[in-house]
Structure 1
Amino acid sequence: MILTPAFDHMFQLPIPIIEKVVRPVIVYLALVLLLRIFGKRELAQLNPFDLVVLLSLSNTVQNAIIGDDNSVSGGIIGAFTLLAINWLVVRVLFRSPRLTRALEGRSVVLIRDGNIDGKALQHEALTREELIEVIHRQGYEHVHEVHRCELEPNGSFYVEGKDPSIADKRHDELLLKLEALNKEIAALRTRPATT
């Protein structure tokens, strides 16, 4: 049959299965460690340079994961191993808050009561402009409107305003108007029908 050599080539593993399993585990653990060392900024993707690094990272470690193997079987084994090690790590971290804090680190307060913590910004390698951009995205115009801003271990930002943000105010106004409309509709339904 003509298809047999093609299928043989697609599914034949040029390297041992154990190597196909060990490679992704080593790369996964190395990436977790490196991202922990280089900080939360890499996860936050604040500027185009950080995004380029993260996108290039996957291409850089690809050969370390699959080796000289371009087979479908090798790709499936590598993908399965990555998903399995991630599943295992997530389960272990779920059961151990102490280990989670050790691996992920703690959140860092960047703004307290409208004041920027310059040392925290410097430690996280964030510029004042990048922080301002973060609070603008959250609906705050100025730093003095922010009660607290934290950079979480996963790279996300938590921003709490002294007063509700413009977006929160609009949301609350919209909810009040919807509630008023619901009351009007309910009142109309209870009115006796006139003919």
Structure 2
Amino acid sequence: MENYLDIIFRSISVYLFLVIVLRFFGKKELSQLNTSDVILVLLLSNSVQNAMVGNNSSLLGGLLAATSLFLINFIFKKIVVKSAFFKQLISDKPEILIHNGVIEFKTLARLGITSEELQESMREHGIQFYKDVKLAIFEIDGNISFISGENSNLKRSVHKRKIRKNLGNLN
């Protein structure tokens, strides 16, 4: 039993360590995985496996480690949603990169976004010139959102979450 408690403690410790490390490396690293990022994720998973389960290579030990990770992730998300302090500590805020065609160079430098990456993202959105960008925002998920065009051509889109009610018995 003590061995299994050790697996739970180790798994939670590794999880918290990775959350802290990813927070310091920033959301840019999570937006799109390139080849080196995929290799990093694979090596990370392999390197922390022994730290979580130690010498225990049993099915029960692996399932216990996985269950611990799922539970701590669930609890951690609930805490972040309910606590303004933890939300501010863990979550980033959207950042303005371009406003009315003017590039925020200090913000780009602080976030580690190169002009080539910004131009690539503009091309992906069908925008050729910086001056055409009304607003470019670096979102909390690591993606860049753009609003462009003339004021008369700007379109507003609203996404409403559909709530499906359980109809229960139709008798």
TM-score (norm 1): 0.69
Matched, 1:154 2:154: no
Q: 1:51 to 1:159 in 2, by over 3 A?
A: farther
Give distance in 2, aligned partners of 1:145 and 1:46: 28
Greater relative contact order (Cα 8 A, min sep 6): structure 1 or 2?
A: 2
Aligned length: 154
Cα 1:76/1:85, change in 2 over 3 Å: same
Percent of aligned positions that are identical: 33
Give, in whole Å, the separation in 2 of the partners of 1:151 and 1:49: 22
SS at match of 1:16: helix
- The Cα shift of 1:111 comes to 1.5
- Residues of 2 paired with 1:57 and 1:143: CA distance? 38
Which whole-Å deviations, capped at 9, do the CAs of 1:57-103 have from their partners, x for residues lacking one? 22222222222222111111011000000000111111123421221
Counting only pairs closer than 5 Å after superposition, residues 115-126 of structure 1 correspond to structure 2 as: 115-126=102-113
Alignment RMSD, CA only?
2.6
- Per the alignment, residue 54 of structure 2 pairs with 67
**Gap regions ≥5 residues in structure 1:** 1-12, 170-195
Q: 2:131 is paired with a residue of what secondary structure?
A: helix
Aligned residue for 2:24?
A: 37
Q: Which one has a larger percent helix, Structure 1 or Structure 2?
A: 1
> Following the alignment from structure 1 to structure 2, what is the Cα–Cα distance between the partners of residues 156 and 110?
12
2:120 to 112, 129, 133: 133
Give the superposition deviation at 1:139: 2.8
Contact 1:41/1:124, CA 8 A, preserved across alignment = yes
TM-score, normalisation: structure 2: 0.77
Map of 2:163 onto structure 1 = none
Among 64, 75, 82, which residue is 1:95 paired with? 82
Instruction: State the one-letter code of the partner of 2:30.
Output: L
The runs of 5 or more residues in structure 2 that have no matched partner are: 156-171
Indicate whether 1:106 and 2:117 are aligned.
no
